[in-house]
Amino acid sequence: MQKSIRSLARLSVGLLALTGASLVGVPAAQAAGGFTQCPSIGASPSCGILLTFNADGSVSIIGDPAVGPYDGIEDTLVGVQNNSGVTLSKVSLSSDSEPIFGFDGDGICEYTPNSGCAATGYEGPNTAFVVQDDYHGDVLFPAGLPTGGSTYFALEERLSAADIVIPIATASGTALQVASYKAGSTGTVSGTGSQSKTASAAGTPASAPQGLAARGVTSTATIAGGSAQTDSSVGTVSIPGVLSLTGVGSTASASCGGSTGSSSFGSGTVAGRKLTGPVVPNRRIPIGPIVVVLNEQIVTADGISVSAVHVTGPGLNIVVAQSAASVDC
């Protein structure tokens, strides 16, 4: 399809930091051009852009100026090489000004069908898209992209390495918070690299207010592939006259494709009543001057914060299994 030539997009690719012009872990012959992670498709003999995820927690991004659009107009063939040492599940992408996910029917599957071809026609092997809008989305690797592995896909518009930027992902978890006291708190994990932090504690101190008792307190915050995920859990938690619960947990995740969150509960009671079935977000249970909110979810433009339990009242502010995740797309 003939289109007018637009200004080059700014493409936001998640996971790690831009390291400059060198490609770590890719042979020099490839770095000079002819990235073999992509086959010859249409007018492109190989990848126009190669993203390489490196073992040092960085991503190298290089364009081959000798390779033009595969459709001869303005669509780009993109390769991915995983040298990170861990399996990748997705890469989050966005553009400041161009509709890189504005797929219009002239994908690579129109030229060379492959095992990944699906709804959009821009998929490569072991890839799929979650499109938030024309400017934001995720490229998924459904079977996981193992270390040492590679694949390819296509995006709209004529892109170069200079157009690619790295979004900042942020994750944090606190399994238990009572006023200024925190247990199982990861702190904030944030940046353009791949990071993961786990914090745990045996339980609450004897001086905890309102007879609060908790055991098995753990949170894990992870950023990877331009996405963020936090999981927090508490094995058992009880406040006399208020609640007694087991298997309390929350999950929050965010990427350029959107954010999700949920809470889980094993068994127990709130206000003397057995807790059964799925708990809808922000379920509010008043107990005299005390208010218990289950599966508390606060959604922002960049992400989500989920607290499995939030108890407030006179002199009382207790948060159980809080997870937060956001991505600056």
What one-letter code names the amino acid at 95?
Answer: S
pTM as predicted: 0.79
Q: 10 Å Cβ neighbour count for 288? A: 10
Distance between CA atoms of residues 317 and 290, nearest Å = 10
Per-residue model confidence (pLDDT) at position 206: 62
Mean pLDDT score across all residues of the chain: 85
Going 220 to 223 to 224 to 229, the CA torsion angle's sign is: positive
Contact 320, 248 (CB under 8 A): yes
Contact 304, 297 (CB under 8 A): yes
Per-residue model confidence (pLDDT) at position 260: 96
Q: 10 Å Cβ neighbour count for 65? A: 9
Per-residue model confidence (pLDDT) at position 199: 96
Residue 265 CB partners (closer than 8 Å, separation 6+): 245, 247, 248, 249, 275, 279, 294, 308
Closest CA to 15 of 156, 145, 155, 126: 145
At 239-266, the pLDDT tens digits run: 999 999 999 999 999 998 889 999 999 9
At 159-194, the pLDDT tens digits run: 888 777 768 899 999 999 987 788 899 999 987 667
Q: Is the pLDDT of residue 26 over 60?
A: no
At 275-284, the pLDDT tens digits run: 988 899 999 9
Contact 101, 119 (CB under 8 A): no
- In three-state form (DSSP H/G/I as H, E/B as E, the rest C), the secondary structure along 43-112 is CECCCCEEEEECCCCEEEEEECCCCCCCCCCCCEEEEEEECCCCCEEEEEEEECCCCCCCCCCCCHHHCC
Please report, for the chain, the start and end positions of each structural domain, with discontinuous segments joined by +.
11-165, 168-328
Per-residue model confidence (pLDDT) at position 207: 66
Going 80 to 85 to 90 to 95, the CA torsion angle's sign is: negative
Distance between CA atoms of residues 179 and 187, nearest Å = 16
Q: Where are the alpha helices (DSSP H) in the chain?
A: 28-31
Q: 10 Å Cβ neighbour count for 142? A: 11
Contact 49, 76 (CB under 8 A): yes
Q: Averaged over 125-153, what is the pLDDT?
A: 93
